[in-house]
Structure 1
Amino acid sequence: MLSPEIAEPPAKAAVQTGQIALFLDFDGTLVEIAPSPEDVRIDRRLPEALAALRQRLGGALALVSGRPVALLDEMMAPHRFDAAGLHGAQIRLGSADAPVAAPSELLHTAIRAMVRFANANVGVIIEDKRQSVALHWRLAPALADEAQALMEKIAAEIGPSMRLQRGKAVAELVPASASKGGAITWLMQQEAYAGRTPVFIGDDITDEDGFATVNAVEGLSIRIGGGETCARHRLASPTALHHVLLAAAEGGDLTLETFLQN
């Protein structure tokens, strides 16, 4: 991975708004990271701004998140966007409800072990997403090593059907076949997205395969905040991204130069 302060623009840096397919992570990107998942708050101007941008982009705008699609719909109400939830395990085009698979018995077993750990340790939070499950320790940072060791043990016991996805003070068991990069690749094959330059904006290790995917096709990869990354560009914060998106929704450009000015 690279951790550039300033990176050279890729070959397609001059791409214009109408040629972009925009992919946006949610937590840490569109909203600030909160102490617990249910505490996040969204700037209520954003859903309207993203709806306006979607129209300008000919429909080529999608949310790519670890959250369930239904939760993204709730946050973005009254609008519904194309979305890849659960790190790509759920993909929904249009406004239909996203399919939700029944959790496996292996996942039930994992959850029971996680519940025992959470019950014994104040500040540990379990986020059951049905097809995946996350263990958060943001409110109990001293337990980071113990929590990660537990999740590694559970992942090893479950076997190859699930993989361990690490993030900021969180570790999550997700279907092995799911990835944000895979979701972006699939979406780029759909009519609204095909032939455009992908732009993916995220903030975490969970977004790295998405960055790598767009880098491979000379797209624009932008990481919010610090940290080691293969993203080629950075924005300082979700607030900086808000400025870009709100201005673009009002008719401004949405190009690499636009992002780098913030």
Structure 2
Amino acid sequence: MSLPPPPQPDPARTSLFLDIDGTLAEFKRRPEEVGPTPRLTALLQALGRRLDGRIAVISGRALADMDRITAGAVVAASGVHGLEHRDALGRVEAASPHPGLERARGAFTALVQAHPELLLEDKGLGLVLHYRTAPELAELANATAARMVDETGLALQKGDMMAEVRTPGRNKGDALRTFMAEPPFQGGRPVFVGDDLTDESAFEAARDLGGHGVLVGPQRETAAAFRLDDVASVLGWLEAFAAADLHSLAS
């Protein structure tokens, strides 16, 4: 059964959590090509005002990269799938890098040198082999990542057109639950918007805490209750919700 589009959030009760890639921003051939836009920055600022600060970004990207893309418009953020956490007051906590990352870094670097079509992203707490520009190397990239997990004890993180290993620990659902125990999110109804399999834990956490998830992209088996077609649909839905604030600024 196809999921319906989400209702408009209740500004007095909603705590809003947003993924970045595939949700707020289109995928690019290389992850560093995703950057800030005036439209997204203005939207995030308006949502923060509309929700009295009950907005956070939860992404697989590192916090510094998230801040670059959002132009610092959202303080509360969780990066590397929950391994980095910054609360609404700007206080940061992060896991310690797993010692196996050094070995994986060497293996991934050697693979990229042999296949320059691959891109290595180093998040500090995790490593990603991107093969969006070379899908024929997917099997090789994933096999290398799986081998590193077996040899080092790193965690395998599934994602879209990439092979990722990371420090074991928290996931996006854990990040959402942490935010919901902190001000200003406490007492709100969590809504998480995301597109990837990595977002399922956050959909589940939102549901368990009395809210819901919004899946972005094609219909699939999911813990989300609602669905939007694509990034354009997400931005349009969020802009409609933020319209009161945006219109008041323009008047």
The two structures have a TM-score, normalised by structure 1, of 0.86
Contact 2:112-2:120 within 8 A present in 1 as well: yes
Distance 1:77 1:97, change over 3 A: farther
Partner of 1:92: 86
- 3-state SS in 1 of match to 2:81: helix
Partner of 1:39: 33
Q: How many residue pairs are counted as aligned between the two chains?
A: 244
Contact 2:108-2:129 within 8 A present in 1 as well: yes
Encode CA deviations 1:199-230: one digit per residue, 9 max, x unaligned.
00001011111111112223121111015322
RMSD: 2.1
Q: What's the CA shift for 1:7?
A: 5.3
Task: Please list every run of 5 or more consecutive structure 1 residues that lacks an aligned counterpart in the other structure.
Answer: 253-262
Contact 1:87-1:178 within 8 A present in 2 as well: yes
5 Å-filtered alignment, 1:21-32, equals 21-32=15-26
5 Å-filtered alignment, 1:212-251, equals 212-226=204-218, 228=220, 229-251=222-244
Q: What's the CA shift for 1:176?
A: 1.6
Structure showing greater relative contact order (alpha-carbon pairs closer than 8 Å, 6 or more residues apart): 1
CA distance in 2, matches of 1:99, 1:191: 16
- 3-state SS in 1 of match to 2:213: strand
Contact 1:30-1:42 within 8 A present in 2 as well: no
CA distance in 1, matches of 2:40, 2:102: 36
CA distance in 2, matches of 1:32, 1:8: 20
AA of the residue aligned to 1:93: D
Contact 2:98-2:167 within 8 A present in 1 as well: no
Distance 1:153 1:140, change over 3 A: same
5 Å-filtered alignment, 1:71-90, equals 71-90=65-84
Q: What's the CA shift for 1:71?
A: 1.3
5 Å-filtered alignment, 1:1-262, equals 4-6=1-3, 16-94=10-88, 96=90, 98=92, 103-159=97-153, 162-226=154-218, 228=220, 229-251=222-244
Task: Please list every run of 5 or more consecutive structure 2 residues that lacks an aligned counterpart in the other structure.
Answer: 246-251
The two structures have a TM-score, normalised by structure 2, of 0.90
What's the % identity of the aligned pairs?
Answer: 34
Contact 2:34-2:69 within 8 A present in 1 as well: no
